[in-house]
Amino acid sequence: MLRRLMAPRPYTRSTRAQRVTDLDPAALAALDAYRERSGLADDPRATAIACVRTDFDHTTRRWWGGTRTEKGTTHAILTPSHLITLLVDPSGSVSTIAYRVSDLEVRDYESSPGFQLLEDSGLSVTGFPPGASERSTYFVGLGPEPDAVAFRDAVRAALT
């Protein structure tokens, strides 16, 4: 409780729906490169069930006082076979990861134990990335907007 009173929330997120074809060129190039490397057969431009863009501010405290805020963007794309995320960091580089929907476990981050340590909002996703033999967990940050809620609902519906 005391930590929450003293520290600012480290992430502020805003989510809106978008078409895969409207991703910025660097994100589209990273998506295509990832598809080629990992062997994803379906093209999300044609098969996407849902796609959102989440812009975020990440605020950290400096040890000598004050705060620093960096901006970034996450794109999340749900297809019939995969949940794909592209993280565009403040320098413009793009990190991409995908999880097979057939093996996916999803939990609202707000109901996870991690929320007590770091307030944030989104989905905690556990599954197998393409070609992986072990499961891993990834966080998909989402804002509070209706488009984010609709994306969460689409992911849950894809699991049933």
Output the six-digit token pair for 139. Answer: 């966080």
User: What distances in angstroms separate CA 26 from CA 13, 21, 84, 142, 158, one per listed residue?
Assistant: 21, 12, 15, 21, 28
Q: Give kind and range of the element (H or E) at residue 35.
A: helix 25-38
- Look at residue 9 in the predicted model and tell me its pLDDT: 62
Q: Give me the tens of pLDDT residue by residue for the chain, a chain 160 residues long.
A: 434 444 556 778 889 999 999 998 999 999 999 999 988 888 999 999 999 999 988 767 777 777 777 888 999 999 999 999 999 987 889 999 999 899 899 988 777 776 666 777 889 899 988 878 899 988 898 999 999 999 999 999 999 8
- Look at residue 6 in the predicted model and tell me its pLDDT: 43
Which residues form the domain of 21?
2-158
Query: Chain centroid to CA 142: how far?
Result: 7
Output the six-digit token pair for 21. Answer: 């074809």
38: β partners: none
Count of domains forming the chain = 1
β-sheet with 94-100: strand ranges across: 11-17, 50-61, 67-78, 82-88, 94-100
β-sheet with 122-127: strand ranges across: 105-108, 122-127, 136-141
Q: What is the C-alpha to C-alpha distance for residues 155 and 83, in angstroms, rounded to an integer?
A: 8
CATH of the domain at 43: 2.30.29
Q: Assess contact for 3 and 64: CB atoms under 8 A.
A: no
